[in-house]
C-alpha cells in the first residue's frame, strides 16, 4: 500500500470483475461508500462498475493479490452467459462480497486466487485455476 499516496488507491470503477486476497497484513476496501475490513487470508469480490478503492487506515504495508477478469472471459457458452454471468452483472443488490475466513466457499476462492499467483507465468494454468 505504500506505493499509493497516503496508502490509498484512487477511487475508480471498471467493467472487470475484481477479486482480491490479502496475503499478509490488513487493509480496507471502500465500495460505493461502504467500508469493508479485510484481514490476512481473507479477500473480496467486487462486481463490475462499482466505485471502489483499497487503502490502509493504519498506514501500514500489506501484501495482496488482485485479479481482474472481464466477464466475457467467463462466457464459455450462451447458456453459461445467460444463466450465470448476466444475472451477476445485472444484480446491483450485490456490489461486492467479502470472502471471509469463516466461509468455506470464500476460503476456496482465496485458495484458488493464490494458485493463480503461483502460476502467473502460464496463461493456460491461470485460466484453469480461475475456472
| Span 78-129, pLDDT tens digits | 998 899 888 888 877 789 999 998 999 899 989 888 888 888 788 788 777 7
Helix axes 104-118, 123-130, angle to 10 degrees: 180
Which residues are CB-neighbours of 33 under 8 A, at least 6 positions away?
Answer: 51
Global pTM reads 0.87
Euclidean distance between CA atoms 109 and 111, whole angstroms: 5
Q: How far apart are CA 4 and CA 42, in angstroms?
A: 21
Amino acid at each position: 500500500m505504500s506505493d499509493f499516496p497516503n496508502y490509498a488507491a484512487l477511487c475508480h470503477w471498471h467493467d472487470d470483475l475484481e477479486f482480491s486476497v490479502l496475503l499478509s497484513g490488513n487493509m480496507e476496501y471502500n465500495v460505493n461508500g461502504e467500508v469493508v475490513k479485510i484481514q490476512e487470508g481473507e479477500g473480496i469480490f467486487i462486481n463490475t462498475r462499482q466505485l471502489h478503492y483499497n487503502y490502509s487506515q493504519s498506514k501500514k504495508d500489506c501484501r495482496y493479490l488482485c485479479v481482474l477478469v472481464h466477464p466475457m472471459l467467463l462466457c464459455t457458452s450462451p447458456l453459461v452467459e445467460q444463466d450465470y454471468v448476466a444475472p451477476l452483472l445485472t444484480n446491483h443488490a450485490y456490489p461486492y462480497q467479502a470472502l471471509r475466513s469463516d466461509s468455506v466457499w470464500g476460503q476456496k476462492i482465496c485458495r484458488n486466487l493464490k494458485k493463480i499467483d503461483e502460476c502467473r507465468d502460464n496463461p493456460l494454468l491461470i485460466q484453469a485455476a480461475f475456472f
